[in-house]
Amino acid sequence: MPYLVASIISVVTAMVILFTRYEADDSTIKAELENMRVMFSIVDGFVNTYIESGGNLSDLSTFELGNSGILLASMAVTPSTVTSTSTTLEKLKTTTTLPNSKVIWQLIPNIADSSSYKVLVDIRGNAGLMSKAVFSEGFIGREFCEKNLFGTFETLSNVFEDATSDFINSSGSNTDGLFVCIVYK
């Protein structure tokens, strides 16, 4: 009899746990990842338009896209003090965000390969993506950078270095919300 009572209690306890367990809501991360897919396509489309209108990948920067009138009017280039007479280094350090987004984009030419460009993506301002930073960085890098754009994903590169005019690893990790995508054209 004690075995039967213990078995019933175990089954009832297991059912209560099964029916009341907490399921994480993944709708936020799914929506943010879909937004990232769209943003990657938009940014690469801006670069394609720049190239098709006579621009050269060796001159590519966020500033050049804005100065050429390719970026959306609602996209501000930061810092806004950079002008046509600014130095190349100042132009390379400019960033932008798409409307209604907190993801920051910085584009520069790839010094090692003139048939490609680099984009530093900063997702730190997006709480939905940063709630699962390891997953977000890895998924975005694999799915959008490598598969969709046939690029190379660098999770450890996380800062623009003035001396080399390139993105470098400065204590980067796969959880810091910063990564680089090299896109080949």
The pLDDT of residue 21 is above 90:
no
Residue 81: the pLDDT is: 93
Structure tokens at 74: 């609602």
Q: Measured between alpha carbons, how far is 181 from 3 in angstroms, rounded to an integer? A: 61
Q: Measured between alpha carbons, how far is 92 from 117 in angstroms, rounded to an integer? A: 12
Domain ranges, ordered by start, for the chain: 26-184
Judged by average pLDDT, the poorest of 18-22, 36-40, 53-57, 86-90 is 18-22
The pLDDT of residue 18 is above 70:
no
pLDDT level of residue 68 (50, 70, 90 thresholds): very high
Query: b/e for 22-49, b at 16 or more Cβ within 10 A?
Result: eeeeeeebeebbebbeebbeebbebbee
Residue 9: the pLDDT is: 73
Taking Cα atoms as reference points, which of 21, 9, 37, 16 lies closest to residue 136? 37
Q: Measured between alpha carbons, how far is 108 from 72 in angstroms, rounded to an integer? A: 19
Q: Measured between alpha carbons, how far is 94 from 171 in angstroms, rounded to an integer? A: 22
